Structure 1
Amino acid sequence: MANPRPKLSTFLPPVILGGGVYNTQMNPDPSLLPVRALIARAFAVGITAIDTSPYYGPSEILIGDALKHSSAPRDSYLIMTKAGRIAEQTFDYSPAWIRSSVLRSLQRLNTTYLDVVFCHDTEFVTPEAVVEAVRTLFALADEGKIRYVGISGYPPEVLAELAVLIRQRLGRAVDVVQSYCHYNLQNGKLAEYVPKLKGEGGVDVVLNASPLSMKLLSGSYPGDFHPAPKELQERCVQAEKWCRERGESLAGVAMRWVFKNWEGSVITGASYVEELESNLEAFREVRGELGGVQVSTERLKRLEELWSGVRDILGEYVDWSWSSPPDGYVKWGEKVAQSKL
């Protein structure tokens, strides 16, 4: 067994820098992004954890380069990455690949250990395959290559079921679960599953990723990659116009809702230092942490009116989720079994 270590929840910062934007889905040429400056500024203001994945194109490499040029001691920040998802339609949860992926991430990120490794997008994989992949991550943790083990994905109900299953099968709970696009101004369903995750699942930390729902709440059309229906995207553009008429932006209003209401750490990406500063301003205003002053009663009332107005525009799409995986999808694990027939 691994040596006793403090719970992740005792030292995780409230805001985590998301590296998912350092890929071609979000930016045409990620190599042009000021990742070194972003990470330097993040560390300077207390955002001392970074989340990435091999699936995010050059993200690990760009972050590794920035960390190599950083003067921050390795024990002053946390690196989180993932394993198991290779491409949009390609997964490999085999023990050999999980181990190989972790070793590659160590090299890319210029480190001798990773603070957290997640099994990536677990809903696309059979539960049995997830259990075996987590078993491999636990072994890597016992070897000292990983400090904490987690699972990630979109649907919180699947993550909750998997967390319970892993604890039952392996006699050991995952430390952390990451769900994306499920606790924001449009969809707050993740909160319903936190009790099960932390109770039956024994999970220490539940991370809320993508508070703008992969640019859906950014105020402009997110792009063809986004699975939200056109009508929902149009509602969000309407909400941006409504916010602008009131001297605000949809992104700013949405970020403040998440930071005010989510009880835990939030993973949010930033392509430019200005975007990071904007997120930090939103956090400081409503939480009064990281150098901020607690929001006034008058301002909070104003924000609550804005939050209510945006949700009225979203209408029936409040708490709506897209299907992940899509109907008829053959999960990894089922595909492996079929290939052996």
Structure 2
Amino acid sequence: MKVLIAPNALKGTLTAIEAGAIIQEFFQNEFPDIKTQLVPIADGGDGTCFLLGEYQNLPQVKTWSLDSVGRSKLGFFYFDEENKAALIDVSTVSGLGDLAEELKSPYHTSTFGTGILIKKAIEYGAKEIVLGLGGSATVDLGLGILQGLGFAFLNQSGREINPFSGSLMEDLSHIQLPVPFPNIKFRLLCDVKNPFFGTNGAIPVFGPQKGLKESKFKTYETSARNAVVKLFSKARKDFNDEEGFGAAGGIAVGLSAFFPIEIEFGAPYFFERVQILESIKSSDLIITAEGKYDEQSKEGKACYELLQLAKNHKKKTVLISSGEEGTLAGFDQFIQLPDLNFENADLKEQAVFGLKKCLKKMTIK
């Protein structure tokens, strides 16, 4: 028997690599005769470019940058010399996971640090940036990235606005383009299809988890619309809100004004590059995991896409996830993770214990 272990990250607790290692160790201890293959998966969410860089054995280039509130942080990108492409996760330096609850605020968080990484990658020789949009702490329309690339945003008095000022979108009146202008294109990997504006947009759907109160939705959207008008007027383009523009606080919006972009909904892109189909065909059982499987999972999340491929090849599947919606997801077996207390300091230890406990309920046939 051969088992494919292909978990996604258990968001907020374990990376896909960590979860996969725990599952593989369980099989090695309990079923030593079963062959296992570990392929951690991603779909444009947090850590996607990290996994891609590791799978492709690309060199990791480290460089100092700033986190989403302006603190120094060591960042990195992977560099694909053959294709002159850099792989960067927004969450590497602009991630929500770096912030204590009291620091979460779309008014004061910025993707400026990610812009610094991108600028370094361009200096390194990159002509294309593959940007994983998952796990961002921001709703800044990618203005911070543009500032990191040398764009200057000025207020009505002609003074440059600091990336962490708290009023960048509201006060934006004039834009100065960088000289020389960066010769770069972007491939944006995302795991959600939300537009930026509207009832299903970035502000009401993702704003609260990034510290935006519901009472501020309307004023924040007004400021964002002001910024979008200024961006696209400067670029002499029309703005059309598209699927995926709501990912990572609208990064695709700002970048699309000035650069060629392509949005990739991450799971198919990721699966193709790690040749997951070959692993599925050669396996008898496929085990995957996700922090919480829900209705949004059907919008292209890695576990759902993996299930479709497994069904096409008549393979048995197991899903490990919190919540109860996985019961009706179509997997041959669903094992529910215990609820975690996210206020406790030992959150990761809880997650490890819960996952190990779940594995003992697995039925191996």
Measured against the shorter chain, the TM-score band is 0.3 to 0.5
Work out which of the two has the higher radius of gyration on C-alpha atoms and give 1 or 2. Answer: 2
Structure having the higher strand fraction is 2
The structure in which a higher percent of residues are helix is 1
The TM-score with structure 2 as length reference comes to 0.31
The TM-score normalised by the length of structure 1 is 0.32
